[in-house]
Amino acid sequence: MKCFLGVDDTDSHLGHCTTYLGYHLVKRLIGLGGKFSRYPRLVRLNPNVPFKTRGNAAVAVEFECGDSAEIFEEACALVEEYSDVSNGANSGLVLVDNPSQLPFFESIYRRALAEVVNKRGVINALKEKGTRIFALGNGMGVVGAAASIGFNGSLDHTYELLAYRRRERCGTPRVVDKDSVKRMDQETFPRTFNNYDYQRDRVLITPHGPDPVFLGIRGGSPQVLLEAFKRVEFSENLEGHMIYVSNQCTDAHLSHGLSLPLKAYSAGKIAGTVSGLTSGDGGHLYFELETGRGQVRCAVYEPAGDLRKVVRFLVPGDLIEVAGGVRRATSKHDATINVERIHVLSRTLQVNAKNPRCSGCGTRMKSEGTDKGFQCRACGRRASEKENTPVRRTLMEGVYLPSPRARRHLTMPLVRYGRETNGDSYSLVKGWFSASEPRLLRVPARSLL
Ligand SMILES: [Zn+2]
């Protein structure tokens, strides 16, 4: 029978990782005779919810198996083993063996991307359907687990190859040859992306925490990820790797319009006319957007880097669309959009008003006083209006993003614009899952990170 298993919120701030549980889940399921024909799913949900763990990632797998009751027991045992409950994980596991229920899960996915979904409501609905669920901690993970089952290949998606460290290496520095990452990037871009931050001269594929992820490479197809992975040189024996299909780098959380008044922690986009540009402490920039349905306050915080340059070039009257997450109102200010993307739709015409030139001799005329017009000192000709010359704008129409370091997992990099996938998902490639990494590469010490 066809089964869908979703898990979420097994990690804590101290270094467990839901994708690593996903890797072990697949390993165990294959061991139990589970048959895979679709990639495991790595699903990012609303990054603005206040109680998320680091990346707010959930994982779902789809497979064929004999007895879903046995699978459920095994999966619960794995979640217990890999969840960091004592450090704040609120794990959830959901098993669906009735594909006719999938539309319900798709609706939870859509809501969990851009809202805060009520846990109690979801758990009650699942119980009513007779869905098997398992929860640890406060059970918040059940929402993400259900949502991850609802993400499927019919929507825009990317792939990520995640390679995992052996347990004894977790917590030690990751040693990767920087130049090999740059070469890999140059040889596989734009089929892979987010490999290297050239502004800061930093490798982006390796995380820095104590978690078991050694590296993650993102791209548009499973094949190119395997190709890219082969090009990266490092000196560590790994535990294994797995390729996920994902909603990362698709802007999935920003595809819907924000409603007014702004709902705290929601995500989406809204268009309007710029006014009230101000800068605050710490390099944060603020402006108001007149949306036609009311004004909204927008903030571009200091870490957004490049996006602040864009705001500095905005002028009142510009028509833009902002996208991002809503910070709740405080005693000091209204609910505020934390801007993750700016689309400059049309620039207002900015003019520079000068005293007119004389139509006879070309001399710049002198003002005769407020509202009294202008006169040429050379030949006496008069004019009533100032001369308006349009100012050349530095800012172009188009889409602008924060610096790479400030982007979210869900942020669509510019290189993907026009490369969105619609339903054409790849079949499993040889090497999509590996529980033994034969490779140990030595790299020269000078190029170590
Ligand atoms: Zn003149």
What is the Å distance from ligand 1's center to 207 Cα?
70
Structure tokens at 204: 């982006």
Gap from CA of 382 to ligand 1 centroid (Å): 8
Report CA(378)–ligand 1 centroid distance (Å): 5
What confidence score (pLDDT) does residue 426 get? 87
Listing DSSP states for 19-66 in one string gives HHHHHHHHHHHHHTT-B--S--EEEE--TT-TT--SS-EEEEEEEE-S
Among candidates 16, 47, 17, which has minimal Cα distance to 340?
47
What distance in angstroms lies between residue 56's CA and the mean position of ligand 1's atoms? Answer: 70
Distance 364 CA to ligand 1 centre (A): 8
Each residue's pLDDT tens digit, 19-33: 999 999 999 999 999
Closest CA to 410 of 190, 160, 191, 198: 160
Could you please report the per-residue DSSP string of 126-179?
Answer: HHHHT-EEEE-TT-THHHHHHHHHH--TTS--EEEEEEEE-GGGTTSPP-B-HH
Q: Is the pLDDT of residue 184 over 50?
A: yes
Distance in Å, CA 365 to ligand 1 centroid: 8
Residue 385 CA to ligand 1 center (angstroms) comes to: 15
- Rounded Cα distance between 265 and 430, Å, is 41
pLDDT, residue 157, reads 96
SS3 content of the chain, % helix, strand, coil (to 5): 25, 30, 45
What's the gap in Å between 441 CA and the centre of ligand 1? 80
CA of 361 to the centre of ligand 1 (A): 4
What pLDDT is stored for residue 445 in this prediction?
47
**Whole-angstrom Cα Rg for the chain:** 27
Ligand 1 center from residue 370 Cα (angstroms): 20
- The answer to whether residues 162 and 19 touch, using CB atoms and an 8 Å cutoff, is yes
- Residue 355: CA atoms inside 13 Å, Cβ hemisphere, count? 18
pLDDT reported for residue 274 = 98
pLDDT at 425: 77
Task: Tell me the two tokens of residue 93.
Answer: 């596991």
Q: Residue 47 CA to chain centroid, in angstroms?
A: 8
State the average pLDDT for the chain.
91
Residue spans of the domains in the chain: they are: 2-150, 158-250+413-447, 255-349+391-406, 351-390
Which tokens go with 188?
């596989």
CATH number of 2-150: 3.30.70.2200
In which band, very low, low, confident or very high, does the pLDDT at 449 lie, cut at 50, 70 and 90? very low
**Model confidence over 433-445: pLDDT tens digits?**
999 876 655 555 4
In sequence order, what are the residues at sequence separation of 6 or more whose Cβ sits closer than 8 angstroms to the Cβ of residue 74?
28, 29, 32
pLDDT of 14 over the 70 cut: no
> Above pLDDT 70, what percent of the chain?
95
Q: Are 381 and 373 in contact (CB under 8 A)?
A: no
The CATH number of the domain covering residues in 255-349+391-406: 2.40.50.1010
Look at residue 188 and tell me whether its pLDDT is greater than 70.
yes
- Angstrom distance (rounded) from CA 111 to CA 237: 40
Distance 357 CA to ligand 1 centre (A): 8
On the question of pLDDT at 405 being above 90, the answer is no
pLDDT of residue 415 exceeding 60: yes
Q: Who's near 106: CB < 8 A, 6+ residues apart?
A: 150, 152
Given a contact cutoff of 8 angstroms between Cβ atoms, the answer to whether 102 and 96 are in contact is yes
For ligand 1, the distance from its centroid to the CA atom of residue 367, given in whole angstroms, is 13
Alpha carbon of 374 to ligand 1 centroid (Å): 11
173 C-alpha vs ligand 1 centroid, how far in Å? 76
Q: Is the backbone peptide bond immediately before 261 cis, with ω within 30 degrees of 0?
A: yes
Across the range 304-310, mean pLDDT stands at: 93
Q: What is the pLDDT of residues 341-396, one digit of tens each?
A: 999 999 998 888 899 999 999 999 999 998 899 999 999 999 999 988 888 898 99
Exposed, middle or buried: residue 114 (CB in 10 Å: 0-12, 13-18, 19+)? Answer: buried
Q: pTM for the full model?
A: 0.89
Asked if domains 158-250+413-447 and 255-349+391-406 share a fold, the reply is no
Measured in Å, residue 359 CA sits from the centre of ligand 1 at: 7
Question: Of residues 405 and 385, which shows the higher confidence score?
Answer: 385
The topology under which CATH files domain 158-250+413-447 is Glycinamide Ribonucleotide Synthetase; Chain A, domain 4 (3.90.600)
Cα-to-chain-centroid distance, residue 275:
27
The Å distance, Cα 372 to ligand 1 centre, comes to 17
Nearest CA-CA partner of 78 in 44, 39, 34: 34
CA of 355 to the centre of ligand 1 (A): 13
Q: Can you give the pLDDT at residue 219? A: 96
> Can you tell me the mean pLDDT for 123-149?
93
What's the 371 CA to ligand 1 centre distance in angstroms?
20
Q: Residue 373 Cα, ligand 1 centroid: separation in angstroms?
A: 14
Q: Does 331 score more than 60 pLDDT?
A: yes
State in Å: Cα 388 to ligand 1 middle.
19
* Residue 81: predicted pLDDT: 87
Strand partners, 276: none
Query: What is the tens place of the pLDDT at every residue in 30-49?
Result: 999 999 999 999 999 999 88
What is the distance in A from the centroid of ligand 1 to the CA of 350? 28
Compute φ and ψ for 405, nearest 5 degrees: -65, -20
| Range with lowest mean pLDDT among 51-65, 239-253, 327-341 | 51-65
Query: How remote is the CA of residue 139 from the centroid of ligand 1, in Å?
Result: 82
Q: How far, in Å, is the centroid of ligand 1 from the Cα of 387?
A: 15
Q: pLDDT digit string (tens) for 144-155?
A: 999 999 998 788
- Give the per-residue pLDDT at 50: 80
Mean pLDDT for 292-315 is 94
What's the whole-number mean pLDDT along residues 299-323?
95
